[in-house]
Amino acid sequence: MGKRITIDPITRIEGHLRVDCEVNNGKVSKAWASGQMWRGVEQILLGHDARDAWAITQRICGVCTTVHAITSVRAVENALQMEVPLNAQYIRNLIITAHAIHDHVVHFYHLSALDWVDVVSALKADPGKTAALAASLSNWSGNSKQEFTKVKERLTGFVGTGQLGIFTNGYWGHPAMKLPPEVNLLAVTHYLQALEIQRYASKIVSILGSKSPHIQNMAVGGVSNPIATDSQSVLTVERLMAVKEWIDKLNDFIKNVYLVDVAAIGAFYADWTKIGAGVTDYLCVPDLPLDTKGTKFALPGGFIKAGDLASIKPIASFNDKYFRDGVQESVKHSWYKGGKGALHPFKGETIPNYTDFQDDGKYSWVKSPTFYGNPAQVGPLSRVLAMAAQNHAPTLKYLTGVLDTAGAIAKTKIPLAAVHSTIGRHAARAVSCAVQVDELANQWNLLVENIAKGDTATFNKPVFPKGEASGVGFHEAPRGVLSHWVVLKDGKITNYQCVVPTTWNAAPRNEGDVPGPYEASLLNTPVADAERPLEVLRTVHSFDPCLACAVHVLDAEGNPVVQVKAL
């Protein structure tokens, strides 16, 4: 038997994710992904008024507040078969896309780029050469020699004090770090510029959602933003113009920096196009509804079998039967009472049954969802592939662009198949982000045009029937397919199940003992140094992990919050 590595937690942003790997001959031979905290939010919702569910569910998660709010109102609207006014759809679509852009930019630059970028190596860079390299890739205004010199000086000062602050405990100097100093300096500079840029995406969510970080404007039946062109207190022309200005700034950064960086960094890590594919059944739902009923969407969704784009089965409406009937969750390897086999979410049960960490038994608080019996990968890669398979022109344009740029730098042709990989998930996230920033501008135009027609409706009052009703709301969230499943009786919640993106990806083994996407993707990942398992983190982080149960009690005792055990 080989070495066993335990990483716990993988990320602190959302509760606790623990990953265990068995390493043989320098490669992962077996992996377990385990959610270390019970997500009991479903129990809290029982008995509540269905109109309040969104405000409660947006507290599930510290990163994805808006997405749970949106999905929750969609679920209740679906149960009531309600229509939603066009303005409300557009405003929600703007919030959705601004949030997604925020999430993708922050994920790439601030949560995962430092898996690939060596901050300390950037100190050796020549700012002049960095500027020359940058100029060959893009005409971004922040790429001057002066700017790179400034960042290098600031970094030198920071490292000189011995306090790396935000860069503490990175894997600096790790043998798997491959970028030349100039590329590292370029990336660190963009890391800092991205801190500025992400603020614009936050501001859009904040203005349209009436408050940030928790939006206040959602309602079953629409949104609570009154629209008036002549009042200061509501959504005014002035505010809409400010939003447009921020959209333009985001667009500039994403097209001229993010897309380019992903291609450039990817070109130096070509070996990572062969690592981390894992589950290649891809699930994506359509989003950005363009009508009141949710039958037309700006971004298509569907299911792809075994990575074959020709196999695409579209998911076409909020009432899509193929999606609704396909989802089940197993608790055979999760810390819940089971014995009934995999259950559809309407019948789902969440009764805790903690054992210990049992390699072949129960080992996670995460349930194991399946689509027609098999695990499915969700997230930007699924999204981009589902859109590409349906010939979504902007997706094809940006996807080809990234592959061509990376190929030009690496001086080799990079095929589409390269995206089924760890680095491919990062490329897909950037492509998705470019598509979304185009949609942000498009949805803004649609909203402004619709208001100009004299339509100011934003809300339809929900009417709750006596007796039982059930519905599913889905949303293509930044991390992938999010669905809320609600059963109502007389307007009160009697069952509520959230099947979140990280549940799909971090799923433990299922009813048939088949590993979930994280677990499958880690197989054969090389590990150079078991004490510093950077490669494992690279693959897990490429999914943008987020376990829906944030706890962050401040630890005044200074206890270590992380352990890496290599046994």
Positions that interact with another protein (CB under 8 A): 7, 9-13, 38, 40-41, 43-44, 56, 59-63, 65, 102, 106, 110-112, 114-115, 154, 158, 163, 165-171, 192, 195, 198-199, 202-203, 205, 211-214, 537, 541, 549-562, 564
Smallest separation (angstroms) from another protein to the CB of 560: 4
Q: Is the Cβ of residue 75 or residue 385 nearer to another protein in the bound state? A: 75
Other Cβ atoms less than 10 A from the Cβ of 82: the count is: 21
Q: Is the Cβ of residue 167 or residue 346 nearer to another protein in the bound state? A: 167
Q: Which residue has the tokens 């229509």?
A: 83
For residue 218, the cross-strand partners are 223
Q: Is the Cβ of residue 82 or residue 423 nearer to another protein in the bound state? A: 423
Q: Is the Cβ of residue 13 or residue 234 nearer to another protein in the bound state? A: 13
Q: Using CA atoms, how far apart are residues 476 and 237, in angstroms rounded to an integer?
A: 29
Smallest separation (angstroms) from another protein to the CB of 60: 7
Q: Is the Cβ of residue 48 or residue 293 nearer to another protein in the bound state? A: 48
Other Cβ atoms less than 10 A from the Cβ of 546: the count is: 27
Smallest separation (angstroms) from another protein to the CB of 378: 20
Nearest to 506 by CA among 522, 525, 526: 522
Q: Phi, psi (5° rounding) for residue 447?
A: -65, -50
Start-to-end C-alpha separation, the chain: 11
Q: Using CA atoms, how far apart are residues 534 and 521, in angstroms rounded to an integer?
A: 15
User: In degrees, to the nearest 5, what angle opens at C-alpha 119 toward C-alphas 117 and 124?
Assistant: 110
Q: Is 406:398 a contact under the CB 8 Å cutoff?
A: no
Q: Is the Cβ of residue 114 or residue 263 nearer to another protein in the bound state? A: 114
Q: Is the Cβ of residue 528 or residue 551 nearer to another protein in the bound state? A: 551
Smallest separation (angstroms) from another protein to the CB of 361: 24
For residue 9, whether the previous peptide bond is cis, meaning omega lies within 30 degrees of 0, is: yes
Smallest separation (angstroms) from another protein to the CB of 88: 23
Smallest separation (angstroms) from another protein to the CB of 113: 9
Smallest separation (angstroms) from another protein to the CB of 231: 21
Q: How far is CA 550 from the centre of its chain?
A: 16
Q: For residue 66, what is the DSSP state?
A: H
Smallest separation (angstroms) from another protein to the CB of 120: 12
Q: How far is CA 212 from the centre of its chain?
A: 19
Q: Phi, psi (5° rounding) for residue 474?
A: -125, 160
Q: Is the Cβ of residue 42 or residue 182 nearer to another protein in the bound state? A: 42
Q: For residue 235, what is the DSSP state?
A: B
Smallest separation (angstroms) from another protein to the CB of 94: 16
Other Cβ atoms less than 10 A from the Cβ of 149: the count is: 17
Q: Is 544:426 a contact under the CB 8 Å cutoff?
A: no
Smallest separation (angstroms) from another protein to the CB of 196: 8
Secondary element (H or E) of residue 135? helix 127-137
For 71-147, list the strands marked E by DSSP.
none
At 107 the three-state DSSP class reads helix
Q: Is the Cβ of residue 188 or residue 316 nearer to another protein in the bound state? A: 188
Smallest separation (angstroms) from another protein to the CB of 278: 20
Nearest to 103 by CA among 477, 552, 548, 499: 477
Q: Which two tokens stand for residue 460?
A: 């339809």
Q: Is the Cβ of residue 114 or residue 437 nearer to another protein in the bound state? A: 114
Cβ burial of 456 (10 Å; 0-12, 13-18, 19+) is middle
Q: Is the Cβ of residue 139 or residue 161 nearer to another protein in the bound state? A: 161
